[in-house]
Structure 1
Amino acid sequence: MADFLVPSSASPETDAQHRLKGPMHAQRHVRVVCIGAGASGLLMAYKLQRHFTNYSLTVYEKNPEVSGTWFENRYPGCACDVPSHNYTWSFEPKLDWSAVYASSREIFAYFNDFARKYGLQKYIKTQHQVAGAYWNKQQGGYHVQVTDLETGNTVHDHCDILINAGGILNNWQWPAIPGIDKYKGVLLHTANWDDKIDLAGRHVGLIGNGSSGIQVLPTIQPYVQKVTTFIREPTWVSPVQGLEQHVFSDQERLDFATKPGVLNAYRKNIERGLNGQFGIFLKGTNTNNDTESYFRQQMAEKLHNPYLEERLIPNWHVGCRRLTPGVGYLEALGKENVEVVYGEITEITERGCLCDNGQEYPLDVLICATGFNTSFKPRFPVVNAAGQNLQDMWASEAQSYFGLAAADFPNYLIFLGPNCPIGNGPVLSAIECQADYMCKLIDRFQTHNISTFAPKAEAVADFIAHKDQFMQKTVWQDPCRSWYKGRPDGPITALWPGSTLHYIEAMMEVRHDDWEVKYNGNRFAWLGNGYSQTELDPTADWAYYVRDQDDDEPLSRGRKLQQINKSGTVSTQGAVSFTGVNLDENGKEVEAKL
């Protein structure tokens, strides 16, 4: 495809007039700035490098290394709650994971190796933190202000398209408990861990029983003098049946590496099972009821303590908060050197924690496993042509289009934005389809004389209305405290109204009628000088459409999807391998055959 250069400062008329001199769909130069070199940012760099020419890209990363949250989170026991062989890109397996739930260090190595393998470092500027992005009314695109964290200097950049890949579980925060600045012991946060701190033989306090706290406790319990863990609410803790922790043997890893098809079959079986879990999140389904019974039984057996069973096993549905395998956590709660304090911490004192039972608990070390700011607001000003700041627009409730764009903020794309499937099933596959969708938008921007594109406000409003209605029948609507929503009774801002497979299918094609598109000059200037791209390629067959038989790709959505999802290649019984849900031809749940 022919390229042509139009400077970023070129007027709209110049763009349109220049296109008339070249063939249709000529590729103008596109400048992209991506914020964050975690998993999403690295994938976007890979996709642009693989699929595009005539572009420039800079990825600004605040950390000294890539991999985002997997570089930052190094606390004891840190791991992913997704099976490791499926916490990879669909096209980039890793052969030598140590266990079903691998450590954060292994995951960091995976993404770091991915960046090295494909030479993505050339796009990345580490220790550079974006401080603001402002729409440039004269040039179009965004003026981006970046702080060089090594020198303190401000770097100025400009881009046609701005991509926020900063992540959602990345902006850690201290708990909002009075007096935390008074504490004179060692204060740690799981997302800002200090490896130099030795916990051996010390009395450690642990605040929180979310994913991080659940991973920390069984890891530190064997070598500290005592752990006092502060828990204010129950949560469901158990691996889904069939996905218990397992350390891979040397022979298993050898088979994965050397026997054709073994690893792919294992990954597909796990992925089918993960995708079969969506029924867990729908109230009244067999899957949710059966899973809750299984979790309740597992928790009672492992706690083996009526006091803890009464307080830690929830009375709301399984899945209202993010599920966690909790390897060894419930068993650790019953160890002799572990004390469970259930209730609220009213104040942090110089010595430790003062709780609502009136008792103060002195501590040598206080670990805050209290998570992240998950409001979805950008961590820096993003200002559009009307002077509106997205931080203000999303102050009370973040409302996006399919988790990847905001109304009235043109040429601005977001990974893992509000209401994407970050907790509905496999998340990396959702990131992949977001990247592909962004690439389709960028391709259209590059090959047409488009000046701006943004989702229509009415499309976002309709999507939010549909989402809110759908959520009424989900377990996420239960009155639990969860980062999926701002408050227990609040709107669910984190999750997609459907399964991950549902999201992938919804994102296969760009619904252009949902987008507000503005052009430089005549919208048909992309037709150019009358020549096609084919006629510019002397190696192409200029009669490619003359054939012996009809080998066209499917034109209907249904037939196309059957080709993509390899319909007919998997038996019904094999499609659901554990805790799954089977649907009839009308989409109604039928009894699963496990």
Structure 2
Amino acid sequence: MANQERHKFCIIIGAGPGGLIQAAELLRQKVLQAKDIQILERNDDYGGVWKRATYPGAACDVFSCLYQVSWHRNPDWQCLFPSRSELIEYYKNFAKHYGLSACTSFGQHAVRVTWATEKSLWIVETKDSESRNYRRWTSRVLVQAVGTFSQKHTPAIAGLDRFKGEVWHAADWPEDYDFTNKTVAYVGTGPTLVQALPHMQAKANLVHVFCRSMAYCQPMPNFEYPLWARRAFRWTPALLRIYAFILASAFFIWLYFAYRPGSWTARLTERGCRWYLYREVSDEHLLSILTPAGRFGSKRPLVSYSGFFKALQKDNVRVINCPIVAMDEFGLIVETPRSSDSKRRIEVLERGEDHTEEIQSMDQTIHVQADVLIWGTGFKVQEWGGTVPTIGRTGETLREHWDHYPNTLYGTMTSGFPNLFFINGPNTTPPWASPIQGFELQAALNTKAIRHIHQRSLKCPIYSLEPRKEKEEAWTEAIKAHLNKLATSPSHDPTNYYLNKQGQNTFFWPWSHTYYWWKTGERHSGNECVDCAR
């Protein structure tokens, strides 16, 4: 039963980088005061995805000087690539600097959001993670900054409920878990495995890595900044800005063209990744498994600076590229290329009886024993609007509204959902730039609209704003044509989380952040949005 109703002018769901940047921007621009803002976070501290990334070796694969807010730079990053602990500390200090702790409630899981048309308010219902009590909040404006990696994807495997070992998704990794003498089955070859495998392999008795298809892996040296460099950045802030600009420009020029098949940059990048693979791996069978198919960028490229390929070749690591068809009490049943009895094995398992001997007698099957099963199978990125059930002006949920394609205006607003804004919404992420810069641009854009709503609300308390449907459709269609030129296009036969069920990329912004800033510079001129004042 909901209780303890509270009202704020603006509620922000999510205390990760996006939510914090949005709150700080509202305060910096003096649009609202801290008493007018409420940040709701389901975790017990700041950091968002980095707070939840508790696997060993967790770190960012974007340069530390770029994975920070341009108007709150840290001169004291320890390494070229920041660790999880550094990132959490940075955003905790960021929140402290802008006084956001006074308007943040932790342990609040948003379970439902509803637009109340008569009052022109958003009603946000949360569940406290400790007391399990429900609380009701209301706000004039709602910002969803829940991120794209919040809904875990776990395969449905027959017999999973019979497995007696430990099971978790990589996003729910028990912190400081001890792998000593454990036999581990890790399913997936994404960025988490690249960083975690050297740590698992060093302690585990045996690690089975299930790899169905491999992405291109780039070698990147990670080094500690010397003390003199950190002091120079601190004493001369302009030097840090110039250094970040040079890195960002080089990063952009390289990857912008590397994601476009046929360009000389793409060809050189693919050759470079293959050269690195062939230099590191000598076993022909393992090479056949690890050699990527498709083009660079068809799947999310991997960044290795922790000895990933060397760890894969250790004596206690096995790489398996056969599909998992079922599970039993002690491990996984894997189908070999010549096996024809997978259906029969599944039927045996589903009978729920002990038929271990029958299963083991079947030809062409492999039983992989494991004490621990880890799903490194990613997230439901394409379920836009599904993280927080959101009911709009017409009674339609945001998930239903975006079922065919998540049409938005600038990736930050959508029709039918007045006064609702997004950080890291559909088609706002260019893979050749830091997402933090994108969050800054989107937060600044949202702040302009929220300022407009706040000013109009002084005279008309039920004022609301939403984009015109034809404008957001035009915006989305203009993006689609250019997305088809990227390596993620279905014409390059990729299987990745960027594409929806229609084969359309709903994730990327196909140009630069500078172009996004220019395209959105004239927002709210009167033609893009509908003023809903009665």
TM-score (norm 1): 0.78
How many pairs were matched up?
489
Task: Tell me, in whole angstroms, the C-alpha distance in 2 between the residues paired with 1:323 and 1:91.
Answer: 29
* Cα deviation 1:145-166 (Å, max 9, x = unaligned): 1222222222112111111011
Alpha carbons 2:192, 2:376 under 8 Å: kept: yes
- Of residues 511, 514, 518 in structure 2, which corresponds to 1:505? 518
Partner residue in 2 for 1:588:
none
Alpha carbons 1:320, 1:475 under 8 Å: kept: yes
- Structure 1 residues 272 and 424, CA, compared in 2 at 3 Å: closer, same or farther? closer
- Of residues 54, 59, 62 in structure 2, which corresponds to 1:79? 59
Task: Tell me, in whole angstroms, the C-alpha distance in 2 between the residues paired with 1:174 and 1:237.
Answer: 24
Partner residue in 1 for 2:434:
426
- Of residues 59, 71, 80 in structure 2, which corresponds to 1:100? 80
The amino acid that maps onto 1:372 is F
The amino acid that maps onto 2:319 is V
- Structure 1 residues 179 and 394, CA, compared in 2 at 3 Å: closer, same or farther? farther
The amino acid that maps onto 1:323 is P
- Structure 1 residues 245 and 177, CA, compared in 2 at 3 Å: closer, same or farther? farther
Task: Tell me, in whole angstroms, the C-alpha distance in 2 between the residues paired with 1:422 and 1:141.
Answer: 33
Q: CA deviation at 1:261?
A: 4.1
**Counterparts of residues 9-48 of structure 1 (less than 5 Å):** 31-48=9-26
- Structure 1 residues 432 and 259, CA, compared in 2 at 3 Å: closer, same or farther? closer
1:272 partnered with 2:249? yes
Alpha carbons 1:380, 1:391 under 8 Å: kept: no
Structure 1 vs Structure 2: percent identity of aligned residues? Answer: 25
Q: CA deviation at 1:196?
A: 5.1
- Of residues 315, 318, 326 in structure 2, which corresponds to 1:339? 318
Other structure's SS at 1:443 match: helix
The amino acid that maps onto 1:491 is Q
**Counterparts of residues 234-383 of structure 1 (less than 5 Å):** 234-239=214-219, 243-258=220-235, 261-276=238-253, 277-327=255-305, 328-357=307-336, 358-374=365-381, 375-383=383-391
Judge which range, 432-441 or 45-54, deviates more: 45-54
1:484 partnered with 2:508? no
Task: Tell me, in whole angstroms, the C-alpha distance in 2 between the residues paired with 1:219 and 1:506.
Answer: 45
Alpha carbons 1:416, 1:422 under 8 Å: kept: no
The amino acid that maps onto 1:472 is N
Task: Tell me, in whole angstroms, the C-alpha distance in 2 between the residues paired with 1:105 and 1:178.
Answer: 38
- Structure 1 residues 500 and 291, CA, compared in 2 at 3 Å: closer, same or farther? farther
1:189 partnered with 2:189? no
Other structure's SS at 1:512 match: coil
Task: Tell me, in whole angstroms, the C-alpha distance in 2 between the residues paired with 1:98 and 1:32.
Answer: 36
Task: Tell me, in whole angstroms, the C-alpha distance in 1 between the residues paired with 2:531 and 2:239.
Answer: 50
Partner residue in 2 for 1:438:
446
Alpha carbons 2:8, 2:138 under 8 Å: kept: no
The amino acid that maps onto 1:352 is G
Say what the alpha-carbon RMSD is for the aligned residues. 2.1
Task: Tell me, in whole angstroms, the C-alpha distance in 1 between the residues paired with 2:467 and 2:251.
Answer: 31
TM-score (norm 2): 0.87
Judge which range, 118-127 or 279-288, deviates more: 279-288
Alpha carbons 2:465, 2:532 under 8 Å: kept: no
The amino acid that maps onto 2:242 is A
Partner residue in 2 for 1:579:
none
Task: Tell me, in whole angstroms, the C-alpha distance in 1 between the residues paired with 2:519 and 2:31.
Answer: 27
Task: Tell me, in whole angstroms, the C-alpha distance in 2 between the residues paired with 1:442 and 1:434.
Answer: 12
**Structure 2 residues without counterparts, runs of 5 or longer:** 1-6, 337-364
Alpha carbons 1:430, 1:504 under 8 Å: kept: no
Partner residue in 1 for 2:158:
178
Task: Tell me, in whole angstroms, the C-alpha distance in 1 between the residues paired with 2:281 and 2:224.
Answer: 24
Q: CA deviation at 1:194?
A: 1.0
The amino acid that maps onto 1:367 is I
Alpha carbons 1:68, 1:170 under 8 Å: kept: no
- Structure 1 residues 260 and 110, CA, compared in 2 at 3 Å: closer, same or farther? closer
**Counterparts of residues 199-238 of structure 1 (less than 5 Å):** 199-238=179-218
Q: CA deviation at 1:473?
A: 1.4
The amino acid that maps onto 2:435 is V
- Structure 1 residues 431 and 326, CA, compared in 2 at 3 Å: closer, same or farther? same
Partner residue in 1 for 2:3:
none
The amino acid that maps onto 1:225 is N
Q: CA deviation at 1:512?
A: 3.4
Q: CA deviation at 1:319?
A: 1.1
Alpha carbons 1:280, 1:288 under 8 Å: kept: yes
- Structure 1 residues 215 and 393, CA, compared in 2 at 3 Å: closer, same or farther? same
Task: Tell me, in whole angstroms, the C-alpha distance in 1 between the residues paired with 2:176 and 2:197.
Answer: 18
Bigger Rg over Cα: 1
- Structure 1 residues 500 and 286, CA, compared in 2 at 3 Å: closer, same or farther? farther
Task: Tell me, in whole angstroms, the C-alpha distance in 2 between the residues paired with 1:512 and 1:175.
Answer: 47
Q: CA deviation at 1:422?
A: 5.0
